[in-house]
């Protein structure tokens, strides 16, 4: 949480490039980060990813394997890209009355997960802490919701290197398990 995100971002880039990373190892272009900071968004986030082999061998910054892995096949990738670091920067002047718990849970979803940037919350029937700045702190949930927890459980229930296309089904399955355990109705349909 900072008073001047634009100044903080510029200082971060000028002093330490590793929290920003280089484009092949970042989830979003620096122009987008800079535009969001300049636009005065209440929160700006990005992630730096690394490259690992199926055995967990890290590749260097140039993308060259420290040790070779010939294990690629038609059904598994030779490498995967886990998150190495996430920066979530809040503008203290634009929090709109959000509580510390709301901010911490919102940050946790970004740090532990990799939610999409362009979520149309009008199509979402389930409450989520990700709506904190879309709906405003007054109407947003007070803490992580059941669906937020299911998102993290589904994501972390996948094996390392699992294809990204498996995430929605894993999340829905985790949510269904939660609803069943709590004897609640469960109705979600996947679009893909």
| Residues 34, 79 share a domain | yes
pLDDT along the chain (192 residues), means of 10: 93 82 77 92 89 64 55 60 86 94 96 85 79 90 93 87 81 86 69 48
Given 58, 75, 94, the domain boundary residue is: 94
| Residues 111, 82 share a domain | no
- Number of separate domains in the chain: 2
Residue-range definition of the domain harbouring residue 80? 1-94
| Residues 70, 19 share a domain | yes
| Residues 52, 21 share a domain | yes
Given 94, 123, 141, the domain boundary residue is: 94
User: What does the alpha-carbon distance between residue 158 and residue 154 come to, in Å, rounded to a whole number?
Assistant: 7
| Residues 126, 169 share a domain | yes
User: What does the alpha-carbon distance between residue 91 and residue 148 come to, in Å, rounded to a whole number?
Assistant: 23
pLDDT, tens digit (0-9, with 9 covering 90-100), for 2-25: 999 999 999 988 887 777 777 667
pLDDT, tens digit (0-9, with 9 covering 90-100), for 110-140: 999 988 887 777 776 778 999 999 888 999 9
| Residues 74, 104 share a domain | no
Q: Can you give 53-68 as a three-state secondary structure string?
A: ECCCCEECCCCCECCC
**DSSP single-letter state for residue 165:** G
| Residues 86, 45 share a domain | yes
Q: Which two tokens stand for residue 40?
A: 């005065």
Q: Are 17 and 39 in contact (CB under 8 A)?
A: no
Given 72, 94, 116, the domain boundary residue is: 94
Q: Is the dihedral of CA 104, 184, 136, 110 positive or negative?
A: positive
Q: Are 62 and 87 in contact (CB under 8 A)?
A: no
- Phi and psi at residue 110, to the nearest 5°: -75, -35
């Amino acid at each position: 949480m900072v008073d001047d995100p634009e100044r903080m971002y510029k200082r971060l880039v000028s002093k330490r490039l590793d929290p920003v990373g280089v484009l092949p190892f970042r989830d979003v272009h620096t122009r987008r980060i800079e535009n969001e900071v300049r636009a005065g968004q209440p929160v700006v986030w990005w992630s730096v990813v690394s490259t690992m082999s199926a055995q967990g061998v890290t590749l260097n910054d140039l993308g060259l394997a420290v040790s070779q892995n010939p294990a690629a096949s038609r059904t598994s990738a030779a490498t995967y890209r886990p998150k190495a670091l996430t920066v979530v920067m809040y503008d203290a002047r634009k929090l709109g009355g959000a509580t510390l718990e709301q901010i911490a849970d919102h940050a946790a979803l970004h740090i532990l997960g990799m939610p999409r940037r362009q979520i149309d919350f009008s199509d979402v029937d389930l409450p989520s802490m990700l709506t904190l700045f879309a709906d405003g702190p007054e109407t947003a949930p007070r803490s992580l919701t059941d669906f937020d927890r299911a998102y993290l459980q589904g994501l972390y229930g996948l094996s390392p290197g699992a294809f990204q296309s498996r995430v929605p089904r894993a999340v829905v399955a985790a949510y269904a398990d939660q609803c069943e355990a709590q004897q609640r109705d469960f109705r979600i349909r996947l679009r893909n």
